[in-house]
Amino acid sequence: MRASSKFSGFLLSLFFVLLLGCGETASLREHVYQGGALGTSYSIKVFTADTTDLQPAIDSVFRVVNQSLSTYLPDSDISRINRGDTGVQVDKMFAEVFKMSVQIYRETDGYFDPTVGVLVDAWGFGPGAALEMDSTRVDSLREYVGLGKVRLTPDSRIAMQQKGMRLDFNAIAKGYAVDRLGVMLEQKGAADYLVEVGGELRTLGINQIKEQPWVVGIDDPQVLEGRKIKQIITLSDRAMASSGNYRKFRVDSVSGKKYVHTIDPRTGYTKDSRILAVSVLAETCMRADGFATAFMAMDLEASKRILEADDSLEGYIIYLDESGATTEYMTPGFKAVLQQDM
C-alpha cells in the first residue's frame, strides 16, 4: 500500500484527454460537464440525443458516494463506523466497495489493504500524528491492520475484530465514483462517453466527433515540474486508473540510487520501492483503481505474475532498474492500445 493516500496532494496526475471542439454527429449532441468533487476535479464528455441537463444527476452521484464513503465528512457512513458506531447499516454502494476491496486484498496477498491508515499515520506519511516507531510499536499497531479482520454481516453492518480499527477506501472510491457516473449515463441512454475524476476514467463507445476511440495521455514521471506526455493510448468500453508518488523519492546517501518509500501492510514496516508509476486497464474503474494502488507497493515480479495470470487486467509500470535507470514494463494488451504516432 502506498505510504500516501491517492487523495493526497501527491497523486500522479496522469490524465489528459483531447477535448477538441464541440458539435453534433447525426442526432447525437455533445455535452461536456466539468467541476470539482471528491477533493479533485472531474470532466465528463458524453454524446446523447437527449438534451436534458445531466448536471443534477452528476451532482447526485457525487453526493451519495460522499455520504457513504468519504472519510472527510464526519457524518458519512464510513466516518461513523470508524468512530465505533455499530448501528450503521451500510448501503449498496458501501457493500460493493467493501466486497471488491476484500477481493483485491486476497488477490494481492494483502498489499491492497484499506485498514492500513494507522500505519501510514504512525510512520509520518498520513494526516495523523507521526510516532516514534520501533518493533514493539509496529507489532502493537499491526493489531489494527488487516482487512481479513473486518467483515460485512448479513444485516449490512461492519464488524471489526479489533476495536479501534478504521477503514479508508480513498484508494478505490474515486474509481467507484467513476463507475457510478458511467452507470448513470448509460441509464440515461448514453452510448458514447468518457468520464474522468482525478485521473481515473471510464469510457464507452467512441468519440463521435472524431469517429474513433477516446484518446488518453499518460504523464512522464521523470518530469518533476510541469508535465510531459509519455504515452498516448486509445480506449473504448474500458476503464483506466493510475497511481504514483514519484515526486517524493529519496536518494540513498551511499549508492546514490533513488527510492520511493512504501509501507508494507503485511509487515507494518516501510520499505524502499523502485516503482514510480502504474496504470491499469480493467472492465471497471474500481477494480483498476485497487490494483494500481497495490502494484505501487508490490515487487515488480509479483505484479507481473498477477497481470500475466489475469486476462481482465492490463498494466503499464514505470520503475527504476538496478542501475537507477527509468525502465518500463507493459503487458501485450496494454501495448496494443498505444498510439504509435506520438
Look up the CATH number of the domain holding residue 137: 1.10.3980.10
Residue type, 40: T
d(CA 85, CA 306): 37
Is residue 245 in a domain?
no
Q: What is the pLDDT at residue 313?
A: 98
d(CA 230, CA 338): 11
Is residue 194 in a domain?
no
Tally of CB atoms within 10 A around 119: 27
pLDDT range class, residue 326, cuts 50, 70, 90: confident
Sheet of 229-235: strand order equals: 16-17, 214-219, 229-235
Contact 49, 28 (CB under 8 A): yes
> What range does the domain containing 135 cover?
66-171
Model confidence at 23: pLDDT above 60? no
Spatial neighbors of 106 by CB under 8 A, at least 6 apart, are none
Q: What is the pLDDT at residue 284?
A: 98
3, 306, 307, 319 from 316: Cα distances, Å? 20, 13, 10, 10
Using one digit for the tens of pLDDT, what is the confidence trace for 141-200? 999 999 999 999 999 999 999 999 999 999 999 999 999 999 999 999 999 999 999 999
Is residue 123 in a domain?
yes
59, 73, 130, 263 from 9: Cα distances, Å? 23, 18, 18, 18
Which grid coordinates belong to 275? 516503482
Model confidence at 50: pLDDT above 90? no
Is residue 236 in a domain?
no
d(CA 289, CA 294): 9
Sign of CA dihedral 190, 192, 231, 219: negative
Three state DSSP letters for 55-72: HHHHHHHHHHHHHHHCCC
Is residue 118 in a domain?
yes
Residue 40 CB-density burial (10 A; 0-12 exposed, 13-18 middle, 19+ buried): middle
CA angle 266, 114, 65 (to 5 degrees): 170
pTM assigned to the model: 0.87
Is residue 75 in a domain?
yes
Model confidence at 60: pLDDT above 80? yes
d(CA 285, CA 110): 20
Tally of CB atoms within 10 A around 129: 8
φ, ψ for residue 159, nearest 5 deg = -115, 125
Using one digit for the tens of pLDDT, what is the confidence trace for 114-141? 999 899 888 887 777 888 889 999 999 9
Is residue 97 in a domain?
yes
Is residue 305 in a domain?
no
d(CA 82, CA 90): 13
Strands 258-263 and 314-320: unpaired
Sign of CA dihedral 156, 94, 266, 290: positive
Number of domains in the chain: 1
Using one digit for the tens of pLDDT, what is the confidence trace for 214-273? 999 988 766 666 677 889 999 999 999 998 865 555 555 666 655 556 788 999 988 778
